[in-house]
Chains A and B, each alone.
Chain A
Amino acid sequence: MAEEVKKRTTYRSRKELKPRLYIGDPMVAVFRTLVRTTINRPNTILYPWEKLIMPDCFRGRPGIRLEKCIECKKCVKICPNQCIQMVPIDHPTLGKVNRPQVYVARCMMCGYCAEVCPTNAMMVTPEFELAAYTRSDLMFDPFKLQYEHKPGYEVHSPMITPSELKAGKTESHDKGDMAIKDTVELDPKKCISCQRCAKTCPVGAITMADTGEVNPKTNKPVKRPVFDNNKCVSCEQCVEVCPKSCLSMKEAM
């Protein structure tokens, strides 16, 4: 069989193309379809009235739980379409905070924002019917973005590297696992003890610790940031904010 296929050239010989191929076969085939679709029903789904059942892992538009968000901006950074922005909101219980807003018109529903969110504040929803009359209707501000959480709406992306697989490891890393988490590294020579990173850190993973030295110029004790890697969510906020660029992310994998 395979040999035969190999021998065939691009063109079929004339003998092969009998009228049956043009007329007989298609006529029979479509007639069979007619009978089948008449007895049963056509393959069409009458969409507004009938809907497909969504698979469990369906990823629709992103949704958010405002109380759980820690303002880490990881979602803003990861969004491939750059449709997330942090906007200030006035929340009745949280007060004045920044929360992500999503321009759903541009969203491609990749679910990366939900996957990367360290607190599972951002999640995927089963909503996909998002038609609107104006573009501005598709700018989902944090309140509109809110969605009731149900187990399964958060995205877990277990990770395992090929080398680990080869070595016989079966269980994979999950979100928050130290093994896959990027960690912050400090270049102590550059640090000027400004404390900005400690102030920025959304989870309070940075504490300023005394080094025992005293600055000869100002006579104040020199402090250096110390990172609590268990608390850190690798959001790079501290790296961004550092005026002397003395912080950097050390990639875990």
Chain B
Amino acid sequence: MNIDLDFSTIYTFMFSLVSWLLWAVGRVLGFIGIDEGSFFYPIKQFLVDPQFVTFVSYLLVAVIYFVFVFLFAGLTVIWMERKLLGRFMDRRGTQVGVLGLFQNFADGIKTLLKEIIIPRDADQKVYTWAVVLIIATSAMLMGLVPWDDEFYAVNVPLALLLGLAVFSLAPFAILIGGWASNNKYTVIGGMRAAAQLIAYEVPMLLVVVSLVVMTGSLNFVEIVNWQNDNIILLVPLAIGALTFFVAGIAEVERVPFDLPEAEAELVEGWQTEYGGFRWGLIMLCDYIRAYIVCALFAILFLGGWLGPEPIPGAVWLLLKTFFLFFMMVWVRAAMVRIRTDQILKIGWRRLLPLAVINLVVVVLIKVYSVGGW
């Protein structure tokens, strides 16, 4: 089904809006006497340049997209987690506003209004840029994950690989963020985070390799199309799906693999020294990443936006994603956290062999059932 709200529409609208605005600006400039021959004429020329108009409209679309996505995906997911955790724990979750929907906005405003404190001896630049790195990578990932086969920000041929590459920038940002805060706890937290995230990167990539072998593509749209033509990948790749899910939970630092954050043991983990809106953004990015992992899982193993007709594809993807996030919340409500050595042991000694087995299974299927390469 076609969705009216696709990006070309928004873009066209933005383009006309921007060109109209700039045209108006040009008129005003002409009115106050800046015209051909004037000293400021190049500025007017620059403003009405079609390339500039295109650039501005792209920028506007990007801003709208990210604000929409951060608000929609991030806040819904946070709200879901709060509400569901409440029910899981026999209490109520948030209660502000209708169904507690406004609590997130209240918290956002609260963190926004807090003073930004940078520790005196911190490495200021790295301290600041680590946050930017995390936010930027999350935003980039958000742009990579499509909503529908016609509703996406970008559609690069190697999207899956690029996505995982961007994902694996997180340990770097966390490590330098923890180091730059100039606090022993944050350094230890950062190191633990790096160890954990790198340990779980490997099985995740191996599962992706099996996906490539199976579908012959690294593009989300093609992978989903392959599933449309053949079979939902969860069925042949059940082991891989499990591995991916567990590794995904670890990658986004959620219970039981939440050592990087480690509220209880390491004060607040690597983000101890971050405060105010930076901390808020880091938390938001945590949830955005959780959302992305769920969306990736839904696209890779559950057929993405495939589903019966009357409901649009993007909604199907959202439903699947939310279901997976529900699973994550469930795990969070039920599990106890585990130690560093156990985390690494599970990563290297359980998930890695599982991923390899999954790969073997895929190769066997490919060779015997589909008739070889």
Contacts and interface: CB of A to CB of B under 8 A. Distances in A.
Given A27-B330, A42-B91, A44-B92, A34 B335 contact: no
B336 A30 contact: no
Interface string A41-70: 011101000000000000000000000000
B21 interface: no
A94 interface: no
Contacts, number: 45
Chain A residues touching B, range? 10 to 19
Nearest to A28: B334
B348 interface: no
Interface string A233-248: 0000000000000000
A37 B335 contact: no
Contacts of B90: 33, 36-37, 42-43
Give the bracket for the number of chain B residues in contact with chain A.
Answer: 10 to 19
Given A22-B335, A23-B335, A42 B86 contact: yes
Nearest to A31: B330
B226 interface: no
A101 to B, nearest CB: 39
A42 B330 contact: no
Interface string B15-28: 00000000000000
Given A42-B92, A44-B92, A34 B334 contact: no
Contacts of A37: 87-88, 90
B335 to A, nearest CB: 7
Given A30-B330, A31-B330, A34-B84, A43 B335 contact: no
Interface in B11-64: none
A26 interface: yes
B336 A22 contact: yes
A29 interface: yes
Contacts of A22: 335-336
Contacts of A44: 91-92
29 contacts: A22-B335, A22-B336, A23-B334, A23-B335, A26-B336, A27-B330, A27-B331, A27-B334, A27-B335, A30-B88, A30-B89, A30-B330, A30-B333, A30-B334, A33-B88, A33-B90, A34-B87, A34-B333, A36-B90, A37-B88, A37-B90, A38-B87, A42-B87, A42-B90, A43-B90, A43-B91, A44-B92, A46-B92, A46-B95
Interface of A: 22-23, 26-27, 29-31, 33-34, 36-38, 42-44, 46
Give 3 nearest A-B pairs by CB, closest first.
Answer: A26-B334, A27-B334, A30-B333
